[in-house]
């Protein structure tokens, strides 16, 4: 019986192990990131359904980079929470991917949120636009 190890078999076993670990990791990531309701948005601690909010407000159109975007004014979202002094705060918008931006009340008054929960601020750099917003907090 030979004491030599076939290097080809070891390489194959390692490659299969790496593939299995990759598949299991991908399954775990997707299993843990699924949201209960992708229409939900938490605004100042209160949970709302964006499609129901859209029933209560008229969409407006804004022109950004020669593209017409439709949405409802972001300040309307804050107003539905009953906040007594919305101009007293700044607002942190948080996307489902963890991306977040902080904007002023004046920015909120100039921005919109689309039906797919994307914040668009025509007067700010695109880096302030947050997609798939899941939460808006006061700062």
Task: Kindly list the domain boundaries of the chain, sorted by start residue.
Answer: 40-138
Q: Which CATH number fits domain 40-138: 3.40.50.2300, 3.40.50.800, 3.90.420.10, 3.30.1490.190?
A: 3.90.420.10
**Model pTM score:** 0.71
DSSP 4-51: ---HHHHHHHHHHHHHHHHHHHHHHHHHHH--S-TTEEEETTEEEEHH
Task: Give pLDDT tens digits along the chain (139 positions).
Answer: 556 677 888 888 999 999 999 888 877 766 655 545 589 999 999 999 999 999 999 999 999 888 999 999 999 999 999 999 999 999 999 999 999 999 999 999 999 999 999 999 999 999 999 999 999 999 9
| Alpha-carbon span 51 to 115, nearest angstrom | 7
| Alpha-carbon span 124 to 48, nearest angstrom | 26
What does DSSP say about strands 40-43 and 133-138: parallel, antiparallel, or unpaired?
parallel
Compute φ and ψ for 119, nearest 5 degrees: -85, 130
Compute φ and ψ for 30, nearest 5 degrees: -70, -30
């Amino acid at each position: 019986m030979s004491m030599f190890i076939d290097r080809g078999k070891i390489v194959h076993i390692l490659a299969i192990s790496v593939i299995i670990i990759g598949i299991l990791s991908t399954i775990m990531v997707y299993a843990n990131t699924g949201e209960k309701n992708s229409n939900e948005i938490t605004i100042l601690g209160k949970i709302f359904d964006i499609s129901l909010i859209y029933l209560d407000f008229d969409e407006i159109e804004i022109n950004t980079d020669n593209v017409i975007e439709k949405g409802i004014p972001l300040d309307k979202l804050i107003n539905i929470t009953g906040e007594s002094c919305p101009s007293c705060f700044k607002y942190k918008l948080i996307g489902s991917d963890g991306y977040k931006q902080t904007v002023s009340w004046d920015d909120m008054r100039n921005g919109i949120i689309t039906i797919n929960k994307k914040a668009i601020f025509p007067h700010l750099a695109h880096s302030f636009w947050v997609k798939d917003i899941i939460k808006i907090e006061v700062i």
